[in-house]
Amino acid sequence: MQIEIIIIAIIVFFVLSYNGQVSIQDLINDNFYLFRKLKEDDWDFYVRAKYGDNVNSEKIFIKRIRNGLIAIVAVIFFFIQSLDALKVVIAFVAGFLIFKLDYFDIKNYYKRRIFTIDSMLPHYLKGREILIQHYTVPVAIGKSMNDAPTIFKDGLQQMINQINAGDDTIEPYMQFARTYSVRDSMRMMRLLYRLSIGRQERKQEQLMTFSKTISNLQQKARETRYKERLDKMEGMTMRMLITTGLGVMVLLLISVIQMMGI
């Protein structure tokens, strides 16, 4: 009997949704300021890391909310014949987990490519040395925008716009570092800011310091990447040795049992 009730409830829900009498999208739009509080601080960065700047992270976030709400409704329908407070809580927990699935998936994608993404910024800044030598930092970055990694383009443009609008503090640089929380981003942006406010007669000296520091950060990223690879290889080797050892032990045990005629 419960299955029939669930099927009828689902059919009624979809009919009402189709006729516009029930709309999950309207529910999301009307309460988006509340749902927005569930948005993770690093969500936009992870979306850019996976899909680039051409994808609207807000639309994907709204899709996550919709999936979570549908899951809540589905679980409530499942328990509708014996619904109580505990089962309502279970429904909301299930909806929250469904809501979080996309976040965990996209975060795992970033972790799998963390070394590639982390190395993009120092590599890009390293290639701007000649331009910075002849132009101011905003002009040099603006002239090389086409060469910038896609993931950083919007942030770099926003930083340049803030500087050109008259903000000569460190805040535009720090805003970029907070938005793109890759390894050592804060340190690199502080270096870039100090280079931008340095006196012209000391520019060559400051540029050499900047170049040396960026090179060290690149080397650090490479060493970390190699260490991670070695750790993975060691882990695979240990698993192979353990598997082989267990296999040999099992074969020896079988041989002993056969020789003893057990």
Tens of pLDDT, residue by residue over 249-258, are 777 777 777 7
Residues sharing a CB contact under 8 Å with residue 19, sequence separation 6 or more, in sequence order: none
pLDDT of residue 240: 75
Per-domain boundaries in the chain: 2-110, 115-218
Please write the tens of the pLDDT for every residue from 230-245. 666 766 776 777 777 7
Q: Which amino acid is at 123?
A: H
Residue 40: pLDDT above 70? Answer: yes
DSSP H helices in the chain: 2-19, 24-30, 32-35, 43-51, 57-78, 85-112, 114-126, 129-134, 137-143, 150-164, 171-179, 185-197, 203-260
List pLDDT tens digits, range 194-221: 877 766 656 667 777 777 777 777 676 6
Phi, psi of 261 (to 5 degrees): 70, 30
Q: Which pLDDT score is estimated for 200?
A: 60
- Predicted confidence at residue 27, as pLDDT, reads 57
Residue 28 has pLDDT above 70, yes or no: no
How many Cα atoms occupy the beta-carbon half-sphere of 34 within 13 Å?
5
